[in-house]
Structure 1
């Protein structure tokens, strides 16, 4: 009997020492990774019981029975550049961060309204605001977000010229409102949507050169027009001054002519008065004869100016002598 008990105890000890390390390791990992754990600040864990969503485990200490409950993993993949080669990285995490995160998209090609191909680099910052929607409403959120951003940006760039995109790339960044409307059920909030770089290479250089030439031609045309306009203004001013001088000369000539005619009239009147003064003492009742003689002299002058025939007197051209002759003949 003693021998049998000894053998039984020996077997128990042997089995215990043989499986003890495995049992201890199993208990350690079960207690550390599944059963008892701590959720840190700004992180959250999705808990499932029997394959269904149970609750969100907030920061603090928690216990999960490994037989009925588990942590729901959050799987995603993204692209990175290594030595100018694009690599796709896949990850699966059971702890979801609530901090702001950045997604840098590889550059993609767009076609502008003026049919020019260019490349755009984008950066998006987002923050998880609802871990339940992130896990259950979308699969591989970063990849889905990249497809959505590509579609929205290409649509917007198709309505813009290359010059507008280069001069104000933040027009694309203003699409953050439209983007947020699409991802509102994904449990994230878009914090930043920024264009890092716009490239168009040879077509861009060609277009910029054409634009530069057009601007130079435009400036040259403006300078030419200004010179022509200034020349026209100077010619108009010179012509105006010449016309003013001509008008002043003509006016002065008219004034001098009028003054000469007035002086001639005055002289004729003075001569007439002198003739009358010389005839009046002996005139008496011969006023009619005097008037007739005066008119006759004027008529003779008119005839001499308008015809080739000349009426000549032996007394010369002195009007007084002519009138005496006429009055004497009348008597």
Structure 2
């Protein structure tokens, strides 16, 4: 019915290109329009003004000879005042956009190493956007934004990069573990040295106390028992301590048999040996 009345409807966010006898005549805005086909007018086609997106996958090689696939996302739209240029000057906008993206990416990425590609992806996106803006504005297209949404190295390269990263982290962990063990060993050695020093001090004090006790015992016994010499008292005290020691060894040692000299003559030898040992220790 609308065709008979020469009325056409143009939807929102869309414009229509009107021709008269095959020649461009006007761009019709959204709404209802009269296109008298009997007078040679007709609609050549419609052009959408909505935002469009094109995802481009481009395989290229980096400066360090690593093949990567770069995924670029191009957001673009037709400028309303240049809808006729977009309709007449360009047959396939997506193919044209894809060609420019390939050209810029394959000119930029080979100048960078793989790590730099990841770090400078915004610079690559800006270079693509500038090139597209310059080229596509002639055809009535506006480049709204360009994004590098993904950089995919070869699977073997990704596996190698992960192994390198893991090895580096393992090396750091091993170094830290070795440093910790070194600190533990140093502290343990310092503790053992301090313990030995304190044990030596304790032994020295113990021996000094024994010598002082023996001296007091000898002096006291000599005073209370007339006719005894200091040597006799010292021998008796030393022999008593010697047998007390043997008793403790028999009670606490794992071995239940202790061989000691026996006989009356041996007692004098035991006392002499103990006394000489103590005197030598005191002199040192």
Task: Sort the TM-score into its range (normalised by shorter chain).
Answer: 0.5 to 0.7
Deviation at 1:47, TM superposition (A): 0.8
SS in 1 for 2:111: coil
- Deviations, residues 187-230 of structure 1 (Å, cap 9, x unaligned): 01111111121111212332453466578779999xx9xxxxxx
Residue number in structure 1 paired with 2:50? 99
Give the conservation status (yes or no) of the 8 Å contact 2:125–2:146: yes
Q: Which has the larger radius of gyration?
A: 1
SS in 2 for 1:30: coil
Using a 3 Å threshold, how does the CA distance of structure 1 residues 215 and 183 change in structure 2: closer, same or farther? farther
Please state if 1:70 is matched with 2:30. no
Deviation at 1:141, TM superposition (A): 0.8
Report the Cα distance in structure 2 between the residues aligned to 1:29 and 1:219, rounded to whole angstroms. Answer: 78
Deviation at 1:65, TM superposition (A): 2.3
Give the conservation status (yes or no) of the 8 Å contact 2:47–2:87: no
SS in 1 for 2:12: coil
Residue number in structure 1 paired with 2:104? 152
- Deviations, residues 138-170 of structure 1 (Å, cap 9, x unaligned): 111111111111111111111111111223422
Please state if 1:51 is matched with 2:2. no
Using a 3 Å threshold, how does the CA distance of structure 1 residues 45 and 113 change in structure 2: closer, same or farther? same
Match of 2:78 among 128, 135, 141: 128
Residue number in structure 2 paired with 1:116? 66
Q: Following superposition of structure 1 onto structure 2, how do residues 265-280 of structure 1 map, counting pairs within 5 Å? A: none
- Deviations, residues 70-127 of structure 1 (Å, cap 9, x unaligned): 222xxxxxxxxxxxxxxxxxxxxx321212111223x221111111101122211111
Report the Cα distance in structure 2 between the residues aligned to 1:177 and 1:220, rounded to whole angstroms. Answer: 48
Report the Cα distance in structure 2 between the residues aligned to 1:38 and 1:44, rounded to whole angstroms. Answer: 10
Match of 2:136 among 171, 183, 197: 183
- Deviations, residues 248-303 of structure 1 (Å, cap 9, x unaligned): xxxxxxxxxxxxxxxxxxxxxxxxxxxxxxxxxxxxxxxxxxxxxxxxxxxxxxxx
Deviation at 1:186, TM superposition (A): 1.3
Residue number in structure 2 paired with 1:39? 10
Using a 3 Å threshold, how does the CA distance of structure 1 residues 211 and 154 change in structure 2: closer, same or farther? farther
Please state if 1:30 is matched with 2:3. yes
Poorly superposed stretches of 4+, deviation over 6 Å = 214-221
Aligned length: 173
Using the size of structure 1 for normalisation, the TM-score is 0.47
Match of 1:209 among 138, 159, 163: 163
Unaligned runs of 5+ in 1: 1-27, 73-93, 225-331
Report the Cα distance in structure 1 between the residues aligned to 2:156 and 2:96, rounded to whole angstroms. Answer: 32
Across the aligned residues of Structure 1 and Structure 2, the Cα RMSD in angstroms comes to 2.8
Using a 3 Å threshold, how does the CA distance of structure 1 residues 149 and 170 change in structure 2: closer, same or farther? same
Q: Following superposition of structure 1 onto structure 2, how do residues 131-142 of structure 1 map, counting pairs within 5 Å? A: 131-142=83-94
Using a 3 Å threshold, how does the CA distance of structure 1 residues 147 and 110 change in structure 2: closer, same or farther? same
Greater RCO (Cα-Cα under 8 Å, separation 6 or more): 2
Residue number in structure 1 paired with 2:282? none
Report the Cα distance in structure 1 between the residues aligned to 2:77 and 2:91, rounded to whole angstroms. Answer: 16
Report the Cα distance in structure 2 between the residues aligned to 1:60 and 1:147, rounded to whole angstroms. Answer: 36
